[in-house]
Amino acid sequence: MPDSTDSPDSLSSPEGVSAQKAWELELLAEFANEATRNRAFTKLMERYRKALYWHIRRMVLDHDETDDLLQNTFIRCYQGLDRFEARSGLYTWLYRIATNLCLSHLSQKKRRRMLSLSDDAVRLEAELKRVTPQERMGSPEYLLEKALLKLPPKQRLVFQMRYYDELPYEQMSEILGTSEGALKASYHLAFKKVEAILRRR
């Protein structure tokens, strides 16, 4: 799968946001029309699938689980799109559905296996080792990904959205339903923890 062209980064610039908004409004109008509904929804999937795939994959690591969660994201979206009032961006809303599904999947998995946070990190580390290409083992990218697995899922998510995707706190707050102040504090704490883990190596 090639790199995503619709990464959240492109939504950070004002031009990106307004072009995105126009495209989404047009799509919503198409979706509201019974005759063009299916075509509109297929277009929506094509546009956001890759960005959402990697957003989920980064969290759960396994491809099959990612595929399942991604399909569920679009199914929930289809079922709720009629009620969508465009107060937030469509992509932000999709991102939010995917994030909720991801967090709930991870916590269910941890509960089902009765794992503590550190046991869960061990399980995820093994998974990361399995999916990382051999030539990237020991690289800074791999070490950072590995260190992130020691964070609780929501904090990891905050770190990933801020550090990798450089999402503005305002948008993160819309997606995660947490105040900007709390997100800043959470990111600060996550950064400090990751730094400490990387330094200990």
Partner 1 sequence: MDLQRHPKIAFKQDYPVPEGYDEGFSHRVWARLERVDEDAPALNPGVVTVLLAWSGNARAWAVAASLALVVGGWFLGRLWWSGTEPAIGANSSSDLLANLPAEEAHDAVLHSANLELLEEVVEQDPNSQVLLSEWAEQISNDPVTMQEALTALPHDLGALVEEAEIEI
Site for partner 1 (CB under 8 A): which residue of 16, 17, 152, 168?
Answer: 152
Question: Quick one: which segment of 12-20, 27-35, 129-137 binds partner 1 (CB under 8 A)?
Answer: 129-137
Any idea what the Cα angle at residue 103 is, between residues 162 and 8, rounded to 5°?
35
Taking the CA atoms of residue 104, residue 107, residue 113 and residue 118 in that order, the dihedral angle to the nearest 10 degrees is 150
Element (H, E) at 79: helix 63-80
**110 lines the binding site for partner 1 (CB under 8 A):** no
As measured in angstroms, the least distance from the Cβ of 19 to partner 1 is 20
**26 lines the binding site for partner 1 (CB under 8 A):** no
Q: Residue 25: what are its φ and ψ, rounded to 5°?
A: -65, -40
Q: How far apart are CA 12 and CA 186, in angstroms?
A: 21
The count of other CB atoms within 10 Å of the CB of residue 67 is 13
Residues that bind partner 1 (CB under 8 A): 1, 3-4, 38, 42, 45-46, 49-50, 54, 57-58, 61, 63, 67, 70-71, 74-80, 83-85, 87-88, 92-94, 96-97, 100, 117, 131-133, 136, 140-141, 143-145, 152, 154-155, 160, 164, 174-175, 177-182, 184-186, 189, 191-192, 194-195, 198-199, 201
